Amino acid sequence: MKKLGFLPRAVAVALVVLGLSSCAPPSSADAEKHKKESLKFLVENEKKPGVLSTASGLQYMILDEGTGISPKATDTVTVKYRGSLISGQEFDSGENVSFPLNGVIRGWTEGLQLMKEGAKYRFFIPPKLAYGKSGVGRVIPPNSALIFDVELVKVNSTD
């Protein structure tokens, strides 16, 4: 079973049980199509007012600044989130979900460290910082850029 980096294990197991995640390899034509769509979206998105970018290619918008502490990659965080494809199709959401920050997709690990408790950001995550050319079964196609609205509720610091 493919580990879903942004979902708790119980949700990932449920996706497999419901048949929404499969082990079938993605077609190379689909992978190439999504790669081109993702690149086009990210190039255009970066030009929009309020969109910031990191050296890795992560794009984000600050919807609401927080006032608390910022997490380190080794911290456990609690978040509220909504994830969608660039088409707008929502594939997941959660409220008060806790996880170790270094146990999720790279785009989340990097992006959440930019935030402070109470902040709300929108992440535009390139495929290389998400699930890359493998995707996640029928839930997230190969080479898909992802959009997440995330609120950092709490940082459970390891210090």
64 noted as active-site residue: no
81 noted as active-site residue: yes
Which of 6, 41, 60, 92 is flagged as catalytic?
Answer: 92
148 noted as active-site residue: yes
99 noted as active-site residue: no
How far apart CA 103 and CA 74 sit, in angstroms, is 9
How far apart CA 75 and CA 145 sit, in angstroms, is 25
Which of 41, 60, 124, 148 is flagged as catalytic?
Answer: 148
60 noted as active-site residue: no
Which of 6, 60, 91, 123 is flagged as catalytic?
Answer: 91
- Which value, in Å, is the radius of gyration of the alpha carbons in the chain? 15
Amino acid type, 5: G
- Residue 74's nearest CA partner among 45, 40, 103 is 103
Which of 105, 125, 140, 147 is flagged as catalytic?
Answer: 105
Which of 6, 41, 60, 81 is flagged as catalytic?
Answer: 81
How far apart CA 137 and CA 143 sit, in angstroms, is 12
Which of 6, 60, 123, 131 is flagged as catalytic?
Answer: 131
How far apart CA 135 and CA 6 sit, in angstroms, is 13
Question: How, if at all, do strands 90-100 and 146-156 pair?
Answer: unpaired
Catalytic residue positions, numbered: 81, 91-92, 105, 131, 148
